Structure 1
Amino acid sequence: MYELTDPIKTYMERALEETCRVLPNGGDHEVRAFIAQRLADAAQSRRTTLGELGIVARKALADFRGAPRRPV
């Protein structure tokens, strides 16, 4: 398993925050968790620059918005 350094974790957090900024109240737990998981997967695949993580986060948000919702 690839070790995530503090700078990479900071990039992940920044990408998450910048992407969720467009959502009301910064997004709910479900969308933030979805994006965070995609960021973690990308970082484990060594896509670790701020630019790469920003792209991953924005695509994850688009995927989340387009995904069918499960009934509650």
Structure 2
Amino acid sequence: MSDFDDRTQANMDVVLDEVCAELPSGGDHESRKFVAEQLIQAARAGKTTLGELTYIGRRALVHLKKSSAEREQKSNGG
């Protein structure tokens, strides 16, 4: 049984798919999991609208891209 009503769950699904579509191949498991966890945390805090969840999802995407760039820079000796 879901912790969320149907609308909230649908909003979370849409945002997860839209955000992860911006990642290579739709995002690997760990990236999708990170975004999903951020969305769940936000929804539990009462942020359940499409706009609020989109903001959280995009913020998670920025975090992922920043972390990826930092890892790449370190592996290139930077």
Q: What residue number does 1:64 align with? A: 64
Identity of aligned residues (%): 42
Alignment coverage as a number of residue pairs: 67
The TM-score normalised by the length of structure 1 is: 0.85
Q: Structure 2 stretches of 5 or more lacking a match? A: 72-78
Give the structure with the larger helix fraction: 2
Q: What residue number does 1:13 align with? A: 13
Q: What residue number does 2:28 align with? A: 28
Shift of 1:65: 2.0
Q: What residue number does 1:42 align with? A: 42
Which stretch shifts more, 15-24 or 36-45? Answer: 15-24
1 or 2 for the larger relative contact order (CA 8 Å, sep ≥6)?
1
Aligned partners of 2:38, 2:22: CA distance in 1, in Å? Answer: 18
Please say which structure displays the higher CA radius of gyration: 2
Look up the equivalent residue of 2:52 and give its one-letter code: E
Which stretch shifts more, 38-47 or 60-69? Answer: 60-69
The TM-score normalised by the length of structure 2 is: 0.79
Shift of 1:15: 0.4
Aligned partners of 1:46, 1:60: CA distance in 2, in Å? Answer: 17
